[in-house]
Structure 1
Amino acid sequence: MEDVRTKRGADVSSDHHLVVANLKLKLKKNWTTGQTAIQRFNTAFLRDTDRLNEFKIALNNRLQALQDLLKEEETSMEDNWKGIKEALTSTCQEVLGLKKYHHKEWISTDTLDKIKERKNKKAAINNSRTRAEKVQAQAEYIEANKQVKRSIRADKKKYVEELATTAEKAAREGNMKQLHDTTKKLAGKYTRNQLDDLNFADDLALLSRTHEQMQMKTASVAAVSASVGLSIHKEKTKVLQFKADNNNPITLDCETLENVESFTYLGSIIDEQGGSDTDVKARIDKARTAFLRLKNIWNSKQLSNNIKVRIFNTNVKAVLLYGAETWRTTTTTIKKVQVFINSCLRKILNIHWPDTISNSLLWERTNQLPAEEEIRKRRWKWIGHTLRKSSNCITRQALTWNPEGKRKRGRSKNTLRRIMEADMKTMNYNWTELERIAQDRVGWMNAGERPMLLHEE
């Protein structure tokens, strides 16, 4: 709309004034290719056992008739293919029908038939001629509507159970893509804006071995960005140095960039102290976000608590304990993780704060292990996997590596190495015996079930 004016001079028998507007229209071009839309068959019906058997019988009959015809007549390869294609398409058209996109994928064929029957009941109400017929038709429609809702709830429950089983299998096998896709299906549409790429959405990481290389790369990126009209945000640009001989600052347009003491790498926070406190706090925040995304699941009245807990284990707890195998755990760390898990479980079970229920009873209802035991099992599963690697693997060498030099005076901080050695002492094992046991996966799992301790810093 470019301009709008009122013409008061137009004299008509009304208390309104004439309005004149200038509009600029942009019409979409009508493309006529002459091709018809592709019609797809509803293959989802094949998940129904009865419909699948019906399809097999119909297709087998048509192929048998085609085979008998080919024995009597001598045909070409093209004619044979046309016969097979006709048998397939006619069977799909008869048994499956064309695919429709107006219903959810998890709705079964039985439910669709009940929906169609309910629609017929609604038409019977509109076509009733007497009041008695209308009352009877309305009663039949109410009963049909109850059956439809009951069937839809059963279909959705079955669908969510299948997704929960798929998510558990993906988490167990380490298939993160399938786990992510399943989580998106469970969460549905999320109202908050999400990034398309979580790895490198709007940032760039530069790696250099020397101060001179980093300065040259920074200047080069700034020059290339300026050539296309982009500029580097200096306040958001950070520099992290690790055991650098040259501590001079990195500059950009004669301004010094800020040095930081930690950064995020592969979902884990790495800092100069080498601890896990910052990483644990970040994992709790990410798990809380994942828990809030599935708010519709936790508030659903149609899903059982068992299904909700299974979804929590695969989509929230997996996020929380990501990388927990290498955490330097302390009593404070364990308490923070356990408090978050207990809070989520109480919300899932709809347990309010006035309801007094012990954590042991809560874990028993939800079939959960204490966070300390869960982290311990994950750690020793990872240790067994590492000990089965080749002797020249850096990860395996790091388990038994003794760094040179002297440590500072005072009490030494608790490390992952000390935690593992304390557990080994509890089990009366040494590294040589553990390497031998780790080659047998079953024996290693039995050894990992022994009670161990996670010590405070």
Structure 2
Amino acid sequence: MQELFRKLETESNEMGLAVNRAKTKIMVVDRAAHLNNPKNIIPGVDIVEHNVYLGAQVNTNGSCVPEIKRRIGMTKDAMTRLNNIWKKRGISMNTKIRLVRALIFPIFLYGVETWTIRARERQRIDALEMWCWRCMMRIPWTAKRTNVSILTQLKIKTRLSTICHQQILSYFGHIVRRGDESLEKLIIVGNTEGKRARGRYPTRWTDQVKDTCSSKFCSIVREAMDRTRWRAIIHSKCKPSSDDHDPQSWGNDERERVNIFTRKKNKKTRSNSERV
């Protein structure tokens, strides 16, 4: 690595460029996650376990969980900084929903195509979405409002976690439809030489594609070659993980609570129209 870094500095100097060692970081991604004599590998260059590259955090173990937690924190921070907007009564609820989708959710969805979302991460994403909706509606935690009633009031049909899986499948289709010389396609479709370590292996990026489509990988690749068919499969396979909007699947108490809320809202609307 010292030789590679020396060549990099030499070639950069010939082009009139200089390597800033204070801003240069070294991160080794391997199974052992360690180096021999890491402090003396390159003078003036720090060795880190995680680094933000092109807006996304990369870790030595290849896990995307720290990046998801980081994005959740950034999303909540952006949501909190817009409290003055959520407090204004002159802004309609539909406008606030559009603001959340246009200003808040894109912060979380940046780079989502590269994530490996497990069941635990999907629960975190669903919890973040409900936190955003409750913050937008100014609902305190003491209010006995269920997630189903809030989603029904806002008429939310597609959950944030579902959007994540849709973008992952869409990106998978783009990779598969590339030429055989594509490096991304070779990594996804090709086989790697060697043997696995003992024990259960971590969930891979392609494993979530197979779990979502509930099919063999070779069949998924063939279906993804057809853009129109693959788009239909994405919308049919990606469904909400929880908080079903179908009233038939709710309990009697939940249906009654939503009906009472709807009747109160209609009564308030009629009274306002009569005053006008």
TM-score when scaled to structure 1?
Answer: 0.45
SS in 1 for 2:91: coil
Query: In the superposition, relative to structure 1, how do residues 240 and 287 fare at CA in structure 2: closer, same or farther (>3 Å)?
Result: same
SS in 1 for 2:236: coil
State how far apart, in whole Å, the 2-side matches of 1:323 and 1:265 are. 11
Query: In the superposition, relative to structure 1, how do residues 217 and 333 fare at CA in structure 2: closer, same or farther (>3 Å)?
Result: same
Query: In the superposition, relative to structure 1, how do residues 452 and 289 fare at CA in structure 2: closer, same or farther (>3 Å)?
Result: closer
Q: Which runs of 5+ in 2 are unaligned?
A: 13-19, 242-276
SS in 2 for 1:404: coil
Establish whether residue 415 from structure 1 lines up as the match of residue 207 from structure 2.
Answer: no
> After the TM superposition, which segments of 4 or more aligned residues of structure 1 sit over 4 Å from their partners?
215-221, 242-248, 452-455
SS in 1 for 2:195: coil
Matches within 5 A, 1:152-301: 210-214=1-5, 238-242=25-29, 248-252=40-44, 257-301=45-89
Query: In the superposition, relative to structure 1, how do residues 453 and 211 fare at CA in structure 2: closer, same or farther (>3 Å)?
Result: farther
Task: Give, as a single letter, the amino acid of the residue that structure 1 aligns with 2:151.
Answer: W
- Deviation, structure 1 residue 245: 8.8
* Counterpart residue number, 2:129: 341
Query: In the superposition, relative to structure 1, how do residues 285 and 251 fare at CA in structure 2: closer, same or farther (>3 Å)?
Result: same
State how far apart, in whole Å, the 2-side matches of 1:308 and 1:422 are. 34
CA contact (8 A) 2:210 2:220 kept: no
Q: Choose 1 or 2 for highest CA Rg.
A: 1
State how far apart, in whole Å, the 1-side matches of 2:226 and 2:197 are. 40
Task: Give, as a single letter, the amino acid of the residue that structure 1 aligns with 2:96.
Answer: K
Query: In the superposition, relative to structure 1, how do residues 291 and 453 fare at CA in structure 2: closer, same or farther (>3 Å)?
Result: closer
**Percent of residue pairs identical:** 23
- Deviation, structure 1 residue 288: 2.3
Query: In the superposition, relative to structure 1, how do residues 355 and 300 fare at CA in structure 2: closer, same or farther (>3 Å)?
Result: same
Task: Give, as a single letter, the amino acid of the residue that structure 2 aligns with 1:338.
Answer: D
- Deviation, structure 1 residue 429: 5.1
- Deviation, structure 1 residue 260: 0.9
Matches within 5 A, 1:354-365: 354-365=142-153
Q: How many residues align?
A: 228
* Counterpart residue number, 1:28: none
- Deviation, structure 1 residue 371: 3.7
Matches within 5 A, 1:33-432: 210-214=1-5, 238-242=25-29, 248-252=40-44, 257-366=45-154, 367-424=156-213, 426=214, 428=215, 430-431=217-218
Q: Deviations over 1:9-32 (max 9, x none)?
A: xxxxxxxxxxxxxxxxxxxxxxxx
State how far apart, in whole Å, the 2-side matches of 1:446 and 1:249 are. 52
Q: Which runs of 5+ in 1 are unaligned?
A: 1-209, 222-230
CA contact (8 A) 2:27 2:60 kept: no
* Counterpart residue number, 1:438: 224
SS in 2 for 1:328: coil
Task: Give, as a single letter, the amino acid of the residue that structure 2 aligns with 1:437.
Answer: E
